[in-house]
A and B are shown apart, each in its own frame.
Chain A
Amino acid sequence: MAEQVWINMGPQHPMTHGLWNLRVKLDGDTIVDADPEMGYLHRGVEKLCEVRNYLKPIVLMDRLCYVSSLTWAHVYCKAVENLMDIEPPPRGKYLNVIACELQRMASHGMWLAAFLADLGLLTGFLYSLRERELVLDLLQLMTGQRMNQNYPRPGGVHNDLPPGFEDEVRRVFRYLRRQYKGYKKFLEDSPTFLMRTQGVGVLRKEDAINYGVTGPNLRGSGARVDLRELDPYDVYDELDFEPVVYEEGDTYARYKVRFGEFFESMRIIEQALDRLPQGPFRIKTPKRAEGEGYARTEDPRGEALIYIIGDGSDRPYRVKIRSPIFVTLSALPMMLRGHRIADVASVTGGIDVCVGEIDK
């Protein structure tokens, strides 16, 4: 009888994209069991928020996920708005939507890069990072920053659009559409890519729902759950878009969902730019708040939820962050069992792990 061994894939492993440890029990080349271990990157963001006034945690939220900073700041601002019971002006809402969708594109671009690198395709990694650079340029044009934008505010956004932004967006999107169509062909016509992704890490719809998987991973399993459509925040109910849903539940379906969302995001941004109303982009907010407020948004990785309790002071009494990927990782052992060790990279790359938000 051959022995089964536990092997640590992480924290210092090229597959992990950050500091986390996936302990894998191997029988030969086959995975018998898996056990994700977290906590290498814990910074205590929730606790840190409690000693800052309501405006300052935005920078902390920016650093929550290093790939998708802006969406976390956005969901925090939404929660504070709900707590303070204020309504941002329409232009602020539209700008938030544009910024969040740009961030989603950048995040999915980074995901594609990391995913392809996990599969051993370093050329795809660099191509995807190259196109992501243009999206980051747009974000920089809009917010002044490339990584930690610090852009959303309770009651609107930090600054208005720069002149000429719209033309720049359309120019870049024309280029990106052409490029990404090429990449789609490049990947989906490649038998090697299909061999590595199809039928790997299958997550059935029921399991996905039971494990609390959200976002693109859930939509890749065939559930049409998109908070932008189900529980519209900001101005998503005024915009015309279609959640990307695929039935198969394997890595390939998750890849297709994210690839489709990239194009959907471009559509949303163009519509938002068309309908962008004039007027103020930010209103003044009170300093103190009492009661409860929560907001949930469709993060690039799933359902991001922030829950805040205010005790009447200028600081939150308690902040709770629900990290979508933390929940999704609980389904990882189930997805990995019975696969080979080579598929670990394909599966974890496919669910788009971001350790910053997992460990908070």
Chain B
Amino acid sequence: MSGHLVDLFGGSNAIAVFLITIINFILRGIGSLPLFGFLNPLADWLGTEPVVTSIAWLIAITIMITWAAALHLLTFIWLERKLVARLQDRRGPMITLRKDRYIGGTGYLQQIADALKLIQKENITPKAADPWMFHIAPAFLISTTIVVLVALPFSEGFVVANVPAGLLFILAAFSLAPLAILLAGWAQNNKYAMIGGMRAAAMMMSYEIPMILAVIAVVVLAGSLNPIEIVNQQSQLSILAPLAAIGIANWYIIPQFLGFFIFLLAMLAEQERIPFDFPEAEEEVVHGWLVEYGGMRFGMVYGFKWLRTFVAAALVALLFLGGWHGPVLPQEIWFILKIYFVFFIFIWISWSVPRIRIDQILNIGWRKLIPLGLFNIFLAVLVVHANAQGWI
């Protein structure tokens, strides 16, 4: 058990107060001049508590988006490319800025080069498409993915909003993507996109319920929908503590291995990773619902797939792997380590299996995962009951 490094709101508040002090100093300086006296009330207004809080929230949000979307998104893309390359006996991207050689570097700049290329590309709207929906659909997808970050904690302090039903909010926002895909598929008036969109809708019906059931089992154990509360429950030694000696006291993966498995599968499907990437299956429907998008519309959707991966890995770590709990190291480091570990599992699975078929995932989802998920809830109820009765 160790403390957290970052207190996001406290830090943001300090920054906000600092900025407002500077601005007020300037404003009052100008306001002391004749004719500029109207600036003084503005400075007074800036100094009031709600304004400072609002600016602190804005700063916190900016930090969070930069942290997740800029830092980890880029690292995830790079890491996936590199790891898959190693898995496939390749080297992966090796672009470097050094003048004497153009390859041989780590290749971290590759994503940035790709983004720069995509930004400059023309945005083509097909004549047959519905132009408004065509542009709104990817924006919808990106917005819903970013929104997830508001309630996603990275440690006890590193969270934008500690809301009571945070987990429900995360899952709700995270699950909106198939709707955006369906919208995009319909708007393009392209047959591949249409099939892709319909596949996204059909796939959603197969994995959403098992995912919710797996989460419910965790909620039964934790008795809360607040992610921070759920993680803190996993540090207590109340329910099952066989591995307390090595520091993984009460991670829910131990009583909930079935749930972990179901949730991992559902998260793979949620990200549209390879065994479940029907909506954009390259060899079947070209690129599915993305087929008509070009330029930065494609680039953003494609890049934000890894933000979804990041969130999915964070959720798995949060719910089943004890969140940020671990010995010695600070909480943030533990959590990031776990996220990268789960990400590694995602990559490993998705690059070693072929894509399955849409009716097969529906059958697996409804005939295997849902009964298993229900049984899993019963197991969780049983564990909690036994614990309350003092049987364990």
A, B assembled together: yes
Residues of B within 8 A of A289 (CB): none
Separation in Å of the B339 CB from the closest CB of chain A? 23
Q: Mark B222-248, 1 if CB is under 8 A from A, else 0.
A: 000000000000000000000000000
Question: In the assembled complex, which residues on chain A have CB atoms less than 8 Å from the CB atom of B285?
Answer: 341
Question: Which residue in B191, B352, B355 is a CB contact (below 8 Å) of A123?
Answer: B352
Q: Does B283 contact A120, Cβ atoms closer than 8 Å?
A: yes
Q: What is the distance, in angstroms, from B366's C-beta to the closest C-beta of chain A?
A: 16
**Chain A residues whose CB sits within 8 angstroms of the CB of B199 once the complex forms:** 29
Write the residues of chain A forming the contact surface with B, with a CB cutoff of 8 angstroms: 5, 7, 13-15, 26, 28-29, 116-124, 126-127, 130, 190, 192-193, 195-196, 340-345, 349
| Interface pairs A-B: 5 shortest CB-CB | A120-B355, A119-B354, A121-B354, A126-B88, A345-B283
Stretch at the interface among B38-46, B120-128, B271-279, B312-320: B271-279
Q: A14-B283, A341-B284 are in contact. Are A120 and B88 (CB under 8 A)?
A: no
The CA of A117 and the CA of B88, in the complex, are separated in Å by: 13
- Knowing that A342-B278, A345-B284 touch, tell me 7 more A-B residue pairs with CB under 8 angstroms: A5-B191, A13-B286, A29-B359, A123-B88, A127-B89, A130-B89, A192-B275
For the residues of B in contact with A, the DSSP-based class is helix
Q: Are A29 and B195 in contact (CB under 8 A)?
A: yes
In the complex, A29 Cα to B279 Cα: how many Å?
12
Partner of A120, one of B195, B281, B359: B281
CA distance A195 to B359 in the complex (A): 11
Report how far A342 CA is from B198 CA in the complex, Å. Answer: 13
Q: Is the CB of B357 within 8 A of A195?
A: yes
In-complex Cβ contact of B90 among A15, A26, A28, A126 (8 A) = A126
* Residue B356 interfacial (CB < 8 Å): yes
A196 near B284: Cβ-Cβ < 8 Å: no
CA distance A122 to B360 in the complex (A): 21
The complex places the Cα of A93 from the Cα of B285 at a distance, in Å, of 46
In contact, B87 and A123 (Cβ under 8 angstroms): yes
Shortest beta-carbon distance from A167 to chain B in Å: 25
In whole angstroms, what is the CA distance A313 to B351 when docked?
58
Please tell me if B353 contacts chain A, counting CB pairs below 8 Å: yes
- Rounded to whole angstroms, the CA-CA distance of A119 and B281 in the bound complex is 9
Q: Which A residues touch B130, using CB under 8 A?
A: none
A126 and B359 contact, CB distance less than 8 A: no
- When chains A and B are docked, how far (Å) is the Cα of A196 from the Cα of B353? 11
* Residues of B contacting A190 in the complex (Cβ-Cβ under 8 angstroms): 353-354
Q: Of the candidates B88, B274, B357, which one forms a contact with A342 in the assembled complex, judged by CB atoms under 8 Å apart?
A: B357
Most buried by A among B353, B359, B360: B353
Given A14-B282, A123-B87, A126-B88, decide whether A342 and B354 contact each other with a Cβ distance below 8 A.
Answer: no
Quick check: A195 and B356 within 8 Å, CB to CB?
Answer: yes
B356 touches A344 (CB 8 A): no
Decide if B58 is an interface residue (CB 8 Å cutoff). no
For A123, list chain B residues within 8 Å (CB). Answer: 84, 87-88, 351-352
Q: Which residue of chain A is the closest to B190 with respect to CB atoms?
A: A7
CB distance from A197 to the nearest CB of B (A): 9
**Chain A residues whose CB sits within 8 angstroms of the CB of B355 once the complex forms:** 119-121, 192, 196, 342
Contact A127 B357 (CB under 8 A): no
Bound-complex Cα distance A79 to B281 (A): 44
Q: Out of B87, B277, B286, B357, which one reaches A340, CB within 8 Å?
A: B357
Distance in Å: Cβ of A155 to nearest Cβ of chain B: 42
Q: Is the CB of B195 within 8 A of A341?
A: yes
Known: A342-B278, A345-B283. A196 touches B357 (CB 8 A): yes
B358 interface hit (Cβ, 8 Å): yes
Chain A residues, CB < 8 A from B277: 120
Residues of chain B within 8 A (CB-CB) of A5 are 191
Question: Closest CB of chain A to B95's CB: distance in Å?
Answer: 20
> How far is it, in angstroms, between the C-alpha of A7 and the C-alpha of B84 when the chains are bound?
33
Docked Cα-Cα span, A345 to B360, in Å, equals 16
Q: Which residues of B sit under 8 angstroms from A349, Cβ to Cβ?
A: 283
> Contacts A14-B286, A15-B283, A118-B283 known; A342 to B353 CB distance under 8 Å?
no
Are A193 and B354 in contact (CB-based, < 8 A)?
yes
Residues of B within 8 A of A344 (CB): 284
Report B145 CB to chain A, min CB distance, Å.
24
Chain A residue at smallest Cβ distance from B285: A341
Nearest-CB distance from A6 to chain B (Å)? 9
Kindly report which residue of chain B lies nearest to residue A349, judged by CB atoms: B283
Which parts of B335-392 form the interface with A (CB within 8 Å)?
A: 351-360
Closest chain-B Cβ to A194's Cβ sits at a distance in Å of 10
Report B190 CB to chain A, min CB distance, Å: 10
A52 to B275, CA, bound (A): 51
Q: Smallest CB–CB gap between A255 and chain B, Å?
A: 12
Considering only CB atoms, which chain B residue lies closest to A120 in the complex? B355
Asked whether, in the complex, the Cβ of A117 is within 8 Å of the Cβ of B357, the reply is: no
